[in-house]
Amino acid sequence: MLMQFQACLIELIQGDITQVKVDAVVNAANSHLAGGGGVDGAIHRAAGPGLIQETKRLYPEGCPTGSAVATRAGNMPAEYIFHAVGPVWRGGGLDEEELLASACLSCLELAREHNCQSIAFPAISTGVYRYPVDLAAETMLKTIHQFIVEHQVPGRVVIVLFDQGSFGAFSRVLETFSDS
């Protein structure tokens, strides 16, 4: 599914984010940047062992929840990996929405700083961190839409959904957006 917003495109695909050809791939990391399961494990396997060395060297303190940091992408086709730390869902009363939005925004700001024309996001926090996927879709898409309308970059934002349920949830929300 594709939607054009002025000069920018938001694209939803179902698949494996490590295979997507974009300038920057967003990782759903943990605050220790220690690697893990899910999309984090897949990205570390695809990038190679240099990635954990680079995160430890550049960010020995890790990365706070609601933020993101950049590394190179090792053996992946991308230039950069932006390691975003989303919140653990604890019912919605502990600033989860703000933290997910600010993790996304940090990635979009990193994309602008690094002159990335394209960026791919996974559905941050919706796996082990249990964020309800329909709510994550609303917050992520709202944050991305606002940013691209305001800044006209990055030109292409791909959201890579691993399973059909997540793809459906993001599609239903994206359909409610229009260029007006």
CA distances from 165 to 33, 63, 153, 161, 171 (A): 28, 29, 28, 9, 10
Cα-Cα-Cα-Cα torsion 123, 64, 108, 102, nearest 10 degrees, comes to 80
> Contacting ligand ADP (CB under 6 A), which of 13, 109, 128, 142?
128
Q: Are 39 and 129 in contact (CB under 8 A)?
A: no
64 binds ligand ADP (CB under 6 A): no
81 binds ligand ADP (CB under 6 A): no
Is 40 an active-site residue? yes
Chain CA centroid to CA 114, Å:
16
Closer residue to ligand ADP (CB): 39 or 111: 39
Nearest alpha carbon to residue 165 among 122, 124, 134, 121 = 134
16 binds ligand ADP (CB under 6 A): yes
Please provide residue 97's backbone torsions phi and psi, each rounded to the nearest 5 degrees. -65, -45
> Contacting ligand ADP (CB under 6 A), which of 82, 121, 162, 167?
162
62 binds ligand ADP (CB under 6 A): no
Question: Whole-number minimum distance, CB 16 to ligand ADP, in Å?
Answer: 4
Stretch that binds ligand ADP, among 12-20, 65-73, 102-110, 168-176 (CB under 6 A): 12-20
From the candidates 16, 23, 40, 179, give the one annotated as an active-site residue: 40
Q: What sign has the CA pseudo-torsion 67, 114, 127, 132?
A: positive
82 binds ligand ADP (CB under 6 A): no
Question: Whole-number minimum distance, CB 35 to ligand ADP, in Å?
Answer: 11
Please provide residue 132's backbone torsions phi and psi, each rounded to the nearest 5 degrees. -60, 130
Binding site for ligand ADP (CB under 6 A): 16-18, 28, 38-40, 42, 86, 122-129, 160, 162-163, 166
Which residues are marked as active site? Answer: 40
